[in-house]
Structure 1
Amino acid sequence: MEKIVEQNLLFDFYGELLTDHQKSVYQDAVFNDMSLSEVADCYGISRQGAFDLLKRCDRIMQGYETKLHLIERFSNAKNRLHEIQQLLEDTSSLSENKQKVSDLIAEIIEEL
């Protein structure tokens, strides 16, 4: 399950950087749950070719993440926003949390 989530995030952030052919094959195999044989038949390539293409796409998108860290930044911002939400929901110490909320917002802005 975790691998599927990772593949979804990678494709959401970096899928447009793949070629049209790579995107089509990747979408069919990963999101449309086609087998390697079905992908191979659909695109006129071998099963090994389909497998290699999928691995190459994963490697390409992972390489982009290694260099750009967009998913990491997104995840960090999401976690901080969740923390802000929790601080704001704690109305008993809202005045005490004001500085913490302000600091977290500043961190998010700085990172983005």
Structure 2
Amino acid sequence: MFDKILQMSLLYDFYGQLLTGKQQEILELYYGNDFSLGEISEELGVSRQAIYDTIKRTEKLLFGYEEKLGLLQKFLLNKKQVEEILSIVEKIEKNENIQSNLSYIEKEIETIKKLSYAILEK
């Protein structure tokens, strides 16, 4: 997909509210503030191993939520489709010979409509 920190940040954005307060705090310190396991351990007064175990368990939970609900995948697909729509619109805007390329524009408008309907149906 993409690098682990970005992936975990996105999963946390989508599913973080489903975690306990302690899980949220540890993930925010680890991924959000780039604290080491030792720094989190000192901050919270628990063992380094407990922090490590909590991070691994919480990561597994977040991946499980994504596997079941797929909110991140849907978001990324919608984002890609909107980017494609914007790209088509920009091509149309840059076209100086609009009258002579009416069939091209009609085709692109159909593509925009299909993408828009696909986004709305999700």
Aligned counterparts of 1:25 and 1:110: Cα–Cα separation in 2: 36
Q: CA deviation at 1:104?
A: 0.4
| TM-score where L is the length of structure 2 | 0.87
Sequence identity (%):
34
**Number of the residue aligned with 1:30:** 31
Q: How many residues align?
A: 111
Alignment of 1:9 onto 2:10: yes
Contact 1:40 1:46 in 2 (8 A): yes
1:110 aligns with 2:111: no
C-alpha contact (below 8 Å) 1:13/1:71 kept by paired residues: yes
With 90-99 and 37-46 compared, the bigger mean Cα shift is at: 90-99
CA offset at residue 25 of structure 1? Answer: 1.0
Question: What SS does the corresponding residue of 2:89 show, helix, strand or coil?
Answer: helix
Stretches of structure 2 lacking an aligned partner (at least 5 in a row):
96-103
**2:97 corresponds to 1:96:** no
**TM-score, reference length from structure 1:** 0.94
How far apart are the structure 2 equivalents of 1:38 and 1:89?
A: 48
1:68 aligns with 2:79: no
Q: Deviations over 1:21-80 (max 9, x none)?
A: 110111011111111111111111111100000111111111000000000000000000
Within 1, Cα distance between the matches of 2:43 and 2:9?
A: 22
| Distance (Å, rounded) in 2 between the aligned partners of 1:87 and 1:30 | 36
Q: Equivalent residue of 2:25, what SS?
A: helix
Alpha carbon RMSD of aligned pairs, Å? 1.1
1:82 equivalent in structure 2: 83
**Helix, strand or coil for the counterpart of 1:33?**
coil
SS in 1 for 2:27: helix
2-structure distance, mates of 1:78, 1:33: 27
Structure 1: give runs of 5+ residues left out of the alignment: none
Report which of the two structures shows the higher radius of gyration computed on alpha carbons: 2
Counterpart code for 1:110: E
Give every structure 1 segment of 4 or more consecutive aligned residues whose post-TM-superposition deviation is greater than 4 Å: none
Alignment of 1:56 with 2:57, yes or no, is yes
